[in-house]
Amino acid sequence: MPIKPDGDDNPASGRPLTPEAERALAEAAERRRLADEKAARQPTEIGGQAGPDPARYGDWEKGGIASDF
């Protein structure tokens, strides 16, 4: 059975999604949208490092050298 590209079927299994699964996907999309909006409102650091927050991810990199505190 070919998978229809109209979004009615789950591409992983070829079966239709349950209402619960559709609701969970919609909730996840809303959480991602809100997280993206929150990240866009964050002030930018002047002279700071680009990329993920090193305090959160535990990897400080400067000039190609990474150090872990």
Mean local confidence (pLDDT), 34-58: 77
Higher pLDDT, 7 or 45: 45
**With contact defined as beta carbons under 8 Å apart, do 15 and 9 qualify?**
yes
pLDDT digits (tens, 9 = 90+) for 1-23: 444 445 554 456 678 999 999 99
pTM of structure: 0.46
CA distances from 46 to 20, 27, 28, 63 (A): 44, 34, 32, 18
Q: 10 vs 31, which has greater pLDDT?
A: 31
The alpha carbon torsion through 18, 19, 24, 27 (nearest 10 deg) reads: 150
- pLDDT score, position 42: 82
Cβ(11)–Cβ(3) below 8 Å: yes
